[in-house]
Amino acid sequence: MNKKCKTSAAAFEALHKESGMSRRDALKVMGLTGGASMMLGAPTSAEAGPSSDKKVKVVVVGGGAGGIMALVRLKRGLPNAEFTIIAPNDIHLYQPGQVFIAAGLYQHSDVVKPNSDFIDSDVNWIKDEVASFDPDNNKVVTRGGKEVGYDYMVVATGIVYHYEWIKGLTKEDIGTNGISSVYLSDLEKGTTHGAEVTWKWFNELKAAAASGKKPTAIYTQPATPIKCGGAPQKILYLSADHLKKEGLGANYIFATNGGKLFSLPTIAKSLEHVQKQYDTISNKFKHNLIAMDVPNKVATFEETYQVKGEYDEDLQEYDMITKKREVEIKYDFIHVVPPMSPPKAVVESKLGWQKGSAKGWLEVDQYTLQHRRYANVFGIGDVMGIPKGKTGGSARHHGPIVAENLINVINGEKPTAKFDGYTVCPLKTDYGHIIMAEFNYDGLAPTIPFLDPAKPRWIWWAFDLYMLKPMYWYLMMRGLM
């Protein structure tokens, strides 16, 4: 058996063991999702990509999924390079698992591993975070004041949550007064407090519904880009199903700054049908949460709406005027998704977009993931200011693109690998079914074309709950897929 086959066999055994599924069931799920062919030795992008024996200094900033995926692939293609990773987190958090903790199906221990499992001992690991970037001089400065130079850099800093941007709300309020937020976590310390609080919140909501009076529960989605854009609706449907199993219901309100349930019409239409299987769900579109009266349980939204203006004789239609107003909604329970942004160090550096809707986000080409002004800098993961791709599944697709293009640049060649915008959002519609929304810059992009991507399916639930986590630990984080 060759080395690659041995690696694939060992990886499958790890998947089988950690998923808890039988070998037969594991193979069935993997076969349907395309995993079996990969395990049997199909070459990965990293194995087929370029390499260089040049002695260069490569710095990776960030120790989450994107940073690790980039690091392991680059190490494979740059055997003589000197690698440094700047990451404060000793613990690696499997972030997609936080929704399953919130649903009572995982525990904290299920989603954490030591980051040392993924960072080789020959990598210079600086356990700190970057406080400032100086791309003109090819260096960064850490929070502790250490200057680190580089020839090439991969920025994988991730995304920052801003509960403080909601007037009247603090992080300390999460878990009190009917407030939850699955996102609340400390990535540096590897905590999942928000997910644990949300599972408690599920059960408090159920207890309130069982008391005889229907509670009002609000689920918010902010005006900024967010990590995993489907998460607000996942919490909505899972908590509604949690009540439905006991014959209970609530007055559910989905308040989003967006104008529809999903950007793709076929997925949005399917979600409309999903909502009909639960008690009353009211969609408040163009509603952005801006303030909360925590003691009195009142949420204030800024609603954007349009009114008719003057009639245009040439176009034979009315001009539409956009206006804003504040709307107060009383609630018993509220799940808050905070506004999000890149880290301050990126926003305040020359690396971020300088204007437009992407201002502050890492300014990379949406296809090559190379910085548009600093050719020796690449991005990966949530920090990038590109139209799609703020999911873990996207980061997996970013990894081989970044590795191939950075190595090409080291070799004096142009970056040729292209990221197609692949994004995946496993929309949990109840306990047992998922709509696997896969799309790219051009629209729907299902991995398995013969399956209707808008239909909720048990197979995707089984894949997400049982298989994806071990695949993440043993394959994705090791650059094997």
Going by C-alpha positions, the residue among 248, 256, 258, 257 that lies closest to residue 280 is: 248
Q: CA-to-CA distance for 338 and 147, rounded, in angstroms?
A: 32
DSSP H helical segments within 118-276, as ranges?
Answer: 193-210, 231-244, 265-275
> Is residue 4 classed exposed, middle or buried when 0-12, 13-18 and 19+ CB atoms within 10 A define those classes?
middle
Q: Which residues pair with 323 in a beta bridge?
A: 305
Rg (CA), the chain: 23
Amino acid at 426: P
CA–CA–CA angle 46, 47, 52 (5° rounding): 80
Helix axes 3-19, 23-32, angle to 10 degrees: 110
Q: CA-to-CA distance for 233 and 241, rounded, in angstroms?
A: 12
Catalytic residue among 87, 228, 243, 481: 228
Q: CA-to-CA distance for 66 and 355, rounded, in angstroms?
A: 25
Q: CA-to-CA distance for 41 and 4, rounded, in angstroms?
A: 7
Residue 144 makes CB contacts below 8 A (sequence gap 6+) with 128
Q: CA-to-CA distance for 231 and 340, rounded, in angstroms?
A: 14
Catalytic residue among 425, 434, 435, 468: 425
Strands across the sheet with 130-134, in order? 130-134, 139-142, 147-149
What is the secondary structure of 450-481 as a DSSP string? TS-TTS-BHHHHHIIIIIHHHHHHHTGGGT--
Q: Which helix (H) or strand (E) holds 12?
A: helix 3-19
pLDDT at 157: 97
CA–CA–CA angle 260, 385, 481 (5° rounding): 90
Amino acid at 7: T
Q: CA-to-CA distance for 165 and 168, rounded, in angstroms?
A: 9
Going by C-alpha positions, the residue among 316, 131, 52, 95 that lies closest to residue 226 is: 95
Residue 11 makes CB contacts below 8 A (sequence gap 6+) with 39, 474, 475, 480
pTM: 0.91
Q: CA-to-CA distance for 294 and 253, rounded, in angstroms?
A: 18
Q: Which residues pair with 161 in a beta bridge?
A: 340
Q: Render pLDDT for 310-343 as a digit per residue (tens, 0 to 9).
A: 877 777 788 888 999 999 999 999 999 999 999 9
Name the stretches of the chain with pLDDT < 70.
1-48
Going by C-alpha positions, the residue among 351, 366, 356, 383 that lies closest to residue 421 is: 366
Residue 211 makes CB contacts below 8 A (sequence gap 6+) with none
SS3 316: coil
Q: CA-to-CA distance for 272 and 261, rounded, in angstroms?
A: 8
Q: CA-to-CA distance for 291 and 293, rounded, in angstroms?
A: 7
Q: Is 5 a catalytic residue?
A: no
Residue 250 makes CB contacts below 8 A (sequence gap 6+) with 205, 208, 209, 214, 215, 216, 217, 240, 243, 279, 333
Q: Which of the 8 DSSP states describes residue 95?
A: T
| Torsion on CA atoms 307, 311, 317, 323, rounded to nearest 10 | -20
pLDDT at 338: 97
